[in-house]
Amino acid sequence: MAHFALLDENNIVTFVTVGRDEDDGKEAELSARTGQTYKQTSYNTRGGVYYLPNSNTPGPDQSKAFRKNYAGIGYTYDDVIDGFIPPKPYPSWLLNTTTGLWDPPIPYPSDGKQYQWDEATHSWIEVPHTTA
């Protein structure tokens, strides 16, 4: 199934629709026919990686990775990286142009604890563990 994202004048995704299989690769034709800007998006691409359908398993053929991320409403299409970028979660985070995702200025701790980002201090704050 082909999926298409409708873009506004600022390249913000306003709508995502499913097309016919025969529409695959025909975003220019769709845009010309409707007078609006559509960009094709891949349901199986996340963070610049192609995943096997309905799984979290990276596919053996990464040439199928398409436009960094599946488009969502509010995402931005960036023609320089040819990818869909989610909204920026915090002002201090930086765009990773390989994945099309936002990276924190400090990596998430790998000690198995849960953390949340604190923008005021630009640091990860441990989330207290609570028991029910």
The domain segmentation of the chain, as residue ranges, is 1-87, 89-132
pTM: 0.86
Element (H, E) at 3: strand 3-7
The pLDDT score that the predictor gives to residue 126 is: 96
3-state secondary structure of 22: helix
**Residue 20 DSSP symbol:** -
The pLDDT score that the predictor gives to residue 23 is: 59
With a cut of 50, list the residues of the chain below it in pLDDT: none
The C-alpha atoms of residue 105 and residue 94 are separated, in whole angstroms, by 7
The pLDDT score that the predictor gives to residue 31 is: 79
Which sign does the torsion angle of CA 110, 114, 117, 120 carry? negative
